[in-house]
Each structure stands twice: as structure tokens, then as C-alpha cells.
A and B are shown apart, each in its own frame.
Chain A
Amino acid sequence: MLSIKNLHASVEGKEILKGINLEIKAGEVHAIMGPNGSGKSTLSQVLAGNEAFEVTEGEVTLNGENLLDLETEERAREGIFLAFQYPVEIPGVSNLQFLRTAVNAMRTHRGEEEMNAAEFMKLAKEVSKQVDLDPSFLKRGVNEGFSGGEKKRNEIMQALLLQPKLAILDETDSGLDIDALKVVSDGVNALRSEDRAILMVTHYQRLLNHIVPDYVHVLAGGRIIKSGGRELALELEEKGYGWLGIKDEETADSAAN
């Protein structure tokens, strides 16, 4: 489904990704782990088309189509979804209006009829329950005054509504207490399906206890330095990033989380 070949990307002239190679097939769940500053978040932003990052080399295809040629919104309509690490607020725009606009943009793209307000309300209420968000959140401004956990649940709710082909989760576990982590993980697990791939970016292994990946990759210095199965994450947790010869100032804290 997604094929990344020798991807180089930089921000403000500084190269962050230095040759990423990755193949993801439909139905698979991949986890990208790595210390801070390794390029994990950059990879998710580049795939989603954030224009702050410049791709200097390499290619990315989604189902054979050149992804890098597409605008951000076109990528989204082709099925790329990014759950943001720090979702931004849009004051005065209700979550409901925002979500319906998004869902209808996708539907229009697929040649389907737009959903009217009543139909959408019904759907959104159902999905909000799935991530344990009170339907009153639908009427509030997008992420306006949401707690960290509520923002993350709101992101997963959007993934469930938009039904992407590839869901990229950028540090979706950060800032979540154990109960919220469970709710978010259940939401992500509900997304798992044969025709959908999931790419999780995380610093810590604990998320992987809830969402069990098929593959684990370790990213360091802008390159994938090791790939393996589920057991690689466990090994990393036990031995720390230092085991792979990577410095990580936060590894010591990870046990506390």
C-alpha cells in the first residue's frame, strides 16, 4: 500500500530524514520507535504533506500513485490520515461542523452524496461513544478547551469517522493516563482491518501492549537502523535505546511512564 524509498527531508535547510525505506501492506500495523529528535514526527508530517518540510530526495507511493505530487488535502482524500501529537484549536468552529465538512469533502471526492446535518449528527454521536467522548464535545469549538486526553480521543474519533486507508498516529499515547490510553487503544484497534494500514509513531513501548504491531522499526538519526517483529519493542524496553548504540536522554524516564 505505502512504499517509501530513500526518503530525504529537511526543515529550514536542516536534513532530518536521511534515507528512509519502508514498505507497508494493507492490513498491517507498523510501529516506528526511536528517541526524541530521531525524525519520527517529521516522517509523519512529511507523509501527510506538511509544507514546512521539504522533500529533497526519494519517493513515496500510495497504491502505486506518487504521493509527493499531491497537495495535503488530496493526500487526505486518497486516504492518508494523521492523528496529531498536538491537535490545534479552531475557536468558534464547532467540532460537528468541522467533522461534517471533512467527511463531506471525502464523500464528494469519492462521488458520493454529502451527508445532511441530521444524518451526520447521528453518525457522529455513535462514533463519539466509541472513544468515550460525551456528545456535547461535538458542539464545542474544535479542540477548544479540550484536555490533552480529550484532544487525543477527538483525533481517534476523526479517524473512525473518516475511515482512512493509512492511519498515521503521531505519539498518540503521549500525555494519556492509563484509562485514556485504554480508550484510545480500543479506538485504534477498532480501526484495524484487512484493507487498512496503521503506522504508529511512539517513543515508548507501553502503547504496543495495547495495540500489538506486526512490525517494529527503530528510527535514529533520520534512518531506520533496525526492524523486527513485536519482540523488538520488548527488547528495546528491557535494554534501552543504548543497546542499539543510540543516545536517548529520555530512556531513563520511560520506566516511570
Chain B
Amino acid sequence: MATTDQEVNELIKREYEHGFVTEIEADTFEPGLNEDVIARLSAIKKEPEWMLEWRLKAYRRWLEMEEPDWAHVGYPKIDYNSISYYSAPKRKEDMPQSLDEVDPELLKTYEKLGIPLHEREKLAGVAVDAVFDSVSVATTFKEPLAKAGVIFCSISEAVRDYPELVQKYLGTVVPHGDNFFAGLNSAVFSDGTFVYVPKGVRCPMELSTYFRINAANTGQFERTLIIADEGSYVSYLEGCTAPMRDENQLHAAVVELVALDDAQIKYSTVQNWYPGDENGKGGIYNFVTKRGACIGKNSKISWTQVETGSAVTWKYPSCVLRGENSVGEFYSVALTHNYQQADTGTKMIHLGKNTRSTIISKGISAGKSSNAYRGLVKFGPGAEGARNFTQCDSLLIGDRCGAHTFPYIESKNKSAIVEHEATTSKVSDEQMFLCRQRGIDPEQAVSMIVNGFCKEVFKELPMEFAVEAGKLLEVSLEGSVG
């Protein structure tokens, strides 16, 4: 069909909804990275000595590391000394205040992003930790959560208030030396979320963090640590957006999850960082290390991600399945458009007996974008009876984009079973013709077809997010027929 591919591409021209900048006075470090900068950062956060030591150790290690270049992405070399490593809105105290004391400008910002920070209305059932540039500005529903014994606070607070828990688990899932970006994050992480769910507690509400980059020339390096003690359950969501800027900005986060015996963690992400403009100018470099350790028997960690933003994505939420009968899941939708590049997937490391994992990955490529699935399924010698099922589907829109699948399988146990399915399809002219012949607008048709393609993943998202994710794809696919 002569023009349809082109037309479909026109349909996914997007307007980035969250590209505004908040005018707010901020304390921002001069660009540059050295041990003094790290010491200053640590001092501002009133961190104990051990934390600073930990950072410096990571920094020295990082200096010896090399930036990875194996991913199927390309970007100009990053000058790590041109980035500012700390920026925070000015305020009297360096602690998240009660909601009444939060700068109204900030409240307005979150309101505009659809994340009202008052404990009612739309997000009544969801507790939010709002991270603005380098700091957590507010955390809602702390009291009712505390009644249930759940600790939900910024990681900076946790370092001060729950040092024994932080020291016990920080860096155990993603150590300093794990990779270049994780090393950098360990040295300079500025805020993020800490969650501890005690034994036998089912967390009474959804927990979430909303990450907002606002300041220019800064990097955001958040660190999240979630610990689910024996027999507990928690569902956690994260969302993220940034202003539209011509310069690229770095976001290098580390997320560590720990599930003890019979515990379950459900971690969902809707990633909508600024993707750059239609010529590939600007956008966030999203270089993130996310890993969960199923330490306990019968534990379960489930990752669900909807990735529509960022100029370059490098992200492999993984599970280390150490406990017997533990379960890892990865459900992913990654949409790339214009010049976006994504290299994303997962690692399922089976160490314990009868461990099971499921990987469902849906990649959608449009425009001139490149979308790669990279996944490792590994069975250690002790992974008796372990099994994995992997399904990777790619959907191409137009003929100038690319989809790639890089599956790696390593098995040191003969009893392990792995199944792998992969498909590549296109939004076909016939499908478009059928929809249009039934009176449906072309853009609605594309959106419907893409949503259908992602259905298996969307059904894994918590209700509030499933609706949000569906809408996000619609927005991403918005435009007019060329």
C-alpha cells in the first residue's frame, strides 16, 4: 500500500505532555564530580560517617570502570564533569516536611502532572513519595502505613532513621562494582524511596514514587530499596517525567528489591521521561539498574514496565532466584518512536531448586527508532527442576524502524527447562483498512491495535496504572493523518 506506512508513522507523532519547567529557587551544585562533591552531598543530607565511606568506596571503584558499549544504542560520549550532581528546591530544613509546609509551587507541579499530593481524591488508595530533582519533597500516607508497621520514606530519611536495615541490605543486590552506572549511582545517589514491610504484613495500600527532573544540566541518581520480610506483600509503582530540553540529561538509578521467605513484591513502572524531539534532539538517557533478589523460599518478584519515554534506554530489571520455589516475572511494553533507542529486557538467574520465571516482552518500534530486547536466562548447577518461559513479540510501525531480539540462555543444570517464543509483526495495511472501513479513525485504529498487542502486559498492571498506561500509549500515538 503506497502511503499507509508513512501515514501510520504520522499518526504516532506525539506531543509530550509533561514538558513544562517549574520556576523555583534551587540550591544546585556546580557541575563536576570529585570526592569533595560527594562529601558535600553527604553532609547536606546529614549522613552518618559509614554512608560517606560507602559512597567514596563506590566512587573510587567507579573511576576504574568503563562505560559499557555492548548495548544496541549509540549516543555521544558523556562528560561526567559537566553534570551537576545535586539540585534541590530551597527550603528551611533538609527534611521532607508535613504536606502543609511543602512549597505551593511544588504542589502545583505535581497537581499538573496528575499526581495530587493531598491524601484524598484521585490517588486516595496510593501513597506517594514525590522526588523532585535530587530530593524527596513529600511522602503521603506515612501515618496509616506506620500503623501497619510499614516503613515508607525517602532513602535519605532511612539512612538516618533506620541505619541497621539500610546497612544490612543496601548494595547486597546491586553491588558497587556491578556495572558502570550502578557504580556512579552508589557514589552520588541523592534520594529515592525506602520501603520495609514487616513479617506477615500485607501492605494496606499501593506505594509509589513519582520522579520528576526539573533543573537543567543535572543528573538524577535515585536509589530505591524495598525489603519484603517473611510472608509479606507489597505492590509498588513508579512514574517519571521531565521538561523538554535540547540538552540530554542523565538518569542513572538503582533499584534493589529483597524478598524473604514467602514474600511477594510487585514492582510496576510507567516510564515517560522526555524522549527528545522529532529530530532526536534532547531527551533523557535512562541508564538504570534494577534487580530483585528472591532470597527466601516461595518468594516472588514481579516486574512490570511500560517504557514510552527517554532518548536512550538501558535497563534490565532482573531477578535472582535463590530461594527454593521462588518465582520471577518480567512483563514489559517498550515503545520507541522518532529517534528513540531502547535496549531493554531482563535477567532471570535461577539458583534455587524449582525456581520459575516468566518473561513477556512487547516491543513497539515506530519512526526511525531502534528497539532491542536483551534477555538472559541462566540456570546454576543447583537449579534442579527450574523452568523459564520467554515470549518476545515485536511490532513494527512503518519501515524505517528496527526491532532486535538478543536472547541469551546459559544452563548448568540438565533438568532445567526453557521455552522461548519470538514473533515480529507489523500493523498491517489490512488491519488498518478493516478498522477504517468500520468507520474508525486511523489514529484510533493504530492505538487500538497497539493496545491489543500489549494486552498481556497491561493486565499485570495495577488498575490505576493500567488505565494510565493505556492513555499514555494513546497520547504517544496521537497526531493527525499526513
Contact = CB atoms under 8 A, between A and B. Distances in A.
A64 to B, nearest CB: 21
A209 interface: no
Contacts of A228: none
Interface in B386-433: 428-431, 433
Interface string A152-166: 000000100010000
B442 A92 contact: no
B434 A84 contact: yes
Contacts of B428: 88
A105 B440 contact: yes
A52 B429 contact: yes
Interface size class of B (residues with CB under 8 A): 20 to 34
A213 interface: no
Contact of A109 (B3, B431, B436, B439): B439
Contacts of B436: 49, 71-73, 76
Contacts of B449: 90, 93
Nearest to A54: B2
B430 A92 contact: no
Given A73-B439, A76-B437, A76-B439, A92 B451 contact: yes
Nearest to B428: A88
Nearest to B442: A73
A87 B434 contact: yes
A97 B431 contact: no
A253 B444 CA distance: 43
Interface string A10-53: 00000000000000000000000000000000000000111110
A141 B451 CA distance: 12
A243 interface: no
Interface in A73-103: 73, 75-77, 80-82, 84, 87-88, 90-93, 97-98, 101-102
B438 interface: yes
Interface string B1-41: 11110000000000000000000000000000000000000
A91 B439 contact: no
A201 to B, nearest CB: 15
Contacts of A158: 438
Given A87-B434, A88-B428, A88-B430, A105 B448 contact: no
B94 interface: no
A102 B438 contact: yes
A169 interface: no
B439 A82 contact: no
Contacts of B456: 92
Contacts of A109: 439
Contacts of B451: 92-93
Contact of A90 (B1, B3, B452, B454): B452
Interface residues of A, number: 32
Nearest to B7: A51
Contact of A51 (B3, B453, B455): B3
B441 interface: yes
Contacts of B433: 48, 50-51, 72
A33 B289 CA distance: 64
A18 B358 CA distance: 56
B452 A141 contact: yes
Interface string B280-298: 0000000000000000000
Nearest to A50: B433
Contacts, number: 81
A97 B448 contact: yes
A127 interface: no
Given A73-B439, A106-B439, A92 B453 contact: yes
Given A51-B2, A92-B452, A162 B434 contact: no
A87 B435 CA distance: 11
Nearest to A82: B437
- Which of A75, A77, A81, A105 gathers most chain B CB within 10 Å? A105
A105 B439 contact: yes
Contacts of B4: 51
A34 B441 CA distance: 34
Interface string A45-69: 0001111100000000000000000
B2 A76 contact: no
Interface in A146-203: 158, 162
A102 B445 CA distance: 10
A206 B463 CA distance: 52
Contact of A102 (B2, B439, B454, B455): B439
A163 B1 CA distance: 29
A90 B441 CA distance: 16
B1 to A, nearest CB: 5
Contact of A77 (B439, B453, B454): B439
A58 B28 CA distance: 70
Interface string B92-119: 0000000000000000000000000000
A9 B448 CA distance: 31
A76 B438 CA distance: 6
A146 B38 CA distance: 62
Contacts of A73: 436-437, 439-442
A49 B437 contact: yes
Contact of B431 (A80, A82, A90, A102): A90
A102 B434 CA distance: 10
A187 to B, nearest CB: 17
Given A50-B433, A76-B436, A98-B438, 8 more contacts: A48-B437, A51-B433, A73-B437, A76-B437, A87-B434, A90-B431, A101-B440, A102-B439
Closest 8 CB pairs of A and B: A92-B452, A93-B452, A102-B438, A76-B439, A92-B455, A105-B439, A72-B436, A88-B430
Interface of A: 48-52, 71-73, 75-77, 80-82, 84, 87-88, 90-93, 97-98, 101-102, 105-106, 109, 141-142, 158, 162
12 contacts: A49-B436, A50-B433, A51-B1, A52-B2, A84-B434, A88-B428, A91-B453, A92-B451, A92-B456, A101-B438, A105-B439, A105-B441
